[in-house]
A and B are shown apart, each in its own frame.
Chain A
Amino acid sequence: MRLYALAVYLFLYIPIGVIALFSFNAGRHAAQFSGFSLQWYGKTLANPFVVNAVKTSFTVAVTSALLATLFGTLAAVALQGVRGRLRLFYDALVYVAVMVPGIVIGIATLIALVTVFDTLNPLLATLFGPENPIQLGLGKGSLIAAHGLFTMALVIIIVRARLQGMDRSLLEASADLGAPPMRSFVQITLPQIAPAVLAGFLLAFTFSFDDFIIAFFVAGSETTLPIYVFSSIRRGVTPEINVIGTLVLAASLLSLITAQVVMRRRSH
């Protein structure tokens, strides 16, 4: 390997390696390694704020990824039937959703949600009475919606690629053998695109679990894991941060590798 390539990789991975290493630090200083220990893992996992943040992140990531996978897959299948200019238009919309910076999506979603809430909440108050008002607000719901919308574009792109690689004559063969369209979809299309659907779900999950920017704007009073890390870092880097970083890294890598393996398998 060329020297500069080595330098690039070192620059990329040494900080991550340091975080993982220091998560096993026995001492209480984040910058000074004084022997291996799992004590910070114990302390971190016993911290109710951390546990709550993990729970929130996990709930939001699973729910938004499920929604994104369901609607993204349906959208990808529907887009297969669209031709010509309309197809180009939809394709552009999907790619734009992926390319727009997170901060823009965060702000835009926040403004949109707040505007909608401000319009709907007085109406809801009149409908259900002022004593026991059902009021819309920022929270898990808005997190799930924002993440779900963004990651749906990812799912669409992944599933579309697989659908386009699928032999169209398989569906004709299925019809020819007596299967009505809906049964052909379930028996032929779904198994064919299943690896892409699963990979899309895992990517969507990873994105949501790791996301800070969009979550920061639309989380309201909820604290996701990245938000917790961000707020506690202001009080200095503690070994606890290293532990969280290492755990999130491990979870993300696992999910990404699974997605890759699933995509490779059966793609001949």
Chain B
Amino acid sequence: MVNQTIAELRNVTKRFGAVTAAEGLNLAIFQGEFLSFLGPSGCGKTTALRMLAGFEQASEGDVLIDGTVVNGVPPHQRPVNMVFQQYALFPHMNVARNVAYGLNQRRPRLARADIAAKVARALDMVRLSGFTDRRIWEMSGGQQQRVALARAIVNEPKILLLDEPMAALDKKLRHDMQIELKSLQRELGITFVLVTHDQEEALSMSDRVCIMHQGRIAQIGTPEELYDQPQNRYVADFIGRSNFIAARAVGRDGERLVAEGPGGLRFVARAAEKTAGEGTVTLSLRPEEIRVAPDGAAGEGHEMRVTHRIFLGEHVEYHLRSAALDHLIAVVPRSTDIAGGTPGVGVAVRVSWRDGAALALAED
């Protein structure tokens, strides 16, 4: 697939008075992709979305949509549509009139029959046909959200912007909606840009995720790239969980970095691009990369003691401690849980990891 750019942020900075909400954003959004801005509140993700919608104008830099610089272009002249967090449906209109609102703003006017047909098709897509005459307040939260979705997609926007659309839904409904949203996006082929603070939501739906941290982009990549090759400690910590171990680089082994951790523990780590071959490094070791064997089992390993054992259904989580490593978390699938019974609290175990399991991160 050729990645055709539909929107672009070029060195975009946004300040509100003395507060910098977003700084130096550089990002290309591809035609037909599902991109998420992910981060905690106040990280600048909503500001980025609102600059695409036109509700905020960049203080510096350029925002491009479909190859055109749209700096200063007001929201009503941009070929994008948004699904708002609280849906922002018009309470004095019924469902059909809400959905038709965007079409009714077109000049020259569209034919009534065309509008009716498009509205019917959009409602059908979100499985709300038959709800045309309903008042907004007669509908459940999930239904309101689908009206908001229909109201946006009926305009066939170049980009559909979604501002935490699932925040107000309960957990079960949210999961169903995620799947529905993703299949809708595939069906329509419209570029979706989602803002969320829920990493599961971002990882499960997105083609690419843009992780934001304090107004800057921490990393952009596919969910797998972010999980497997985080470029900095923030991303490694934010996506999934990780054990962070301070170590000293002692040499290189091809692509791999050889590092010595506390207590002379040896790691052969994958090295993130910016990592140098010398000096101190932070190693990131995912809990599921750690093997836990009974004490006295064959093979190498580092002896540790179990301080907590948490049963998680399909997995068992161990909190481990030794003289060298203060706190290490290991997650072991239950089916491959340690032979001869699971070790309880206080039991000594043998802990090991394969070469390349750890990732060396550059110091931030």
Tell me if B141 counts as interface (CB < 8 A to partner A).
no
Chain-A contact segment, one of B8-16, B81-89, B208-216, B260-268: B81-89
Report if A183 contacts B (CB, 8 A).
yes
Q: Does chain B have a CB within 8 A of A174? A: yes
- B-binding segment of A56-64, A165-173, A222-230: A165-173
- Complex CA gap A179/B152 in Å reads 13
Please, which residues of chain B bring their CB within 8 A of the CB of A181? 76
Report yes or no: A178 in contact with B76, Cβ–Cβ below 8 A. yes
| CA distance in complex: A268, B138 (Å) | 12
A188 on interface, CB distance cutoff 8 Å: yes
Q: How many residues of B contact A (CB 8 A)?
A: 26
The chain A residue sitting closest to B86, CB to CB, is: A169
A191-B92, A266-B92 given as contacts; is B84 within 8 A of A172 (CB)? yes
Q: Which of A167, A176, A188, A268 contacts B76 (CB 8 A)?
A: A176
On chain B, the residues within 8 Å of A191 by CB distance are 92
Point out the residues of chain A lying under 8 angstroms from B80, CB to CB.
Answer: 176
Q: Tell me if B53 counts as interface (CB < 8 A to partner A).
A: yes
* A interface SS class: helix
Q: Is B277 an interface residue (CB 8 A)?
A: no
Question: Which residues of A have CB within 8 Å of B137?
Answer: 268
Q: Which of A175, A177, A188 has the most CB of B within 10 A?
A: A177
Query: A143-169 interface mask toward B, CB cutoff 8 Å, 1 = contact, 0 = none?
Result: 000000000000000000000000101
A173, A191, A266: most-surrounded residue (chain B CB, <10 A)? A173
Does B191 count as interface, using CB distance less than 8 angstroms? Answer: no
Q: Are B82 and A176 in contact (CB under 8 A)?
A: yes
Contacts of B92 in A (CB 8 A): 191-192, 266
| Inter-subunit contact B86/A172 (CB<8 Å) | no
Chain B residues with CB under 8 A of A183? 105
Residues on B with C-beta less than 8 A from A15 are: none
B90–A176 touching, CB < 8 Å: no
CB–CB A167/B105 < 8 A? no
- Known A169-B86, A170-B90, A191-B92; contact A176-B53, beta-carbon cutoff 8 A: yes
Question: CB distance B84 to A175 under 8 Å?
Answer: no
Say how far B107's CB is from chain A's closest CB, in angstroms: 9
| Interface pair A176/B81, CB less than 8 Å apart | yes
* B45 proximal to A (CB < 8 A): no
Nearest Cβ on chain B to A188's Cβ, whole angstroms: 6
**In the bound complex, CA of A17 to CA of B12 (Å):** 72
Q: Which A residues between 212 and 268 are near B, CB-CB below 8 angstroms?
A: 266, 268
Contact B75 A175 (CB under 8 A): yes
Q: Taking beta carbons and an 8 Å cutoff, which residues of B are in contact with A?
A: 53-55, 74-77, 80-82, 84-86, 88-92, 101-102, 105-106, 137, 151-152, 155
Q: What are 5 contact pairs spanning A and B, CB under 8 A?
A: A175-B75, A178-B76, A181-B76, A187-B101, A188-B90
18 further contact pairs, Cβ within 8 A, besides A176-B80, A177-B152, A181-B76: A169-B88, A172-B75, A172-B82, A173-B82, A173-B88, A173-B89, A175-B54, A176-B53, A176-B76, A176-B81, A177-B81, A177-B101, A178-B155, A179-B101, A180-B74, A187-B101, A192-B92, A266-B91
Which residues from chain A sit less than 8 Å from chain B, CB to CB? 167, 169-170, 172-181, 183, 187-188, 191-192, 266, 268
Of all A-B residue pairs in the complex, the 5 with the closest CB atoms, nearest first, are A178-B105, A177-B102, A169-B88, A173-B88, A175-B75
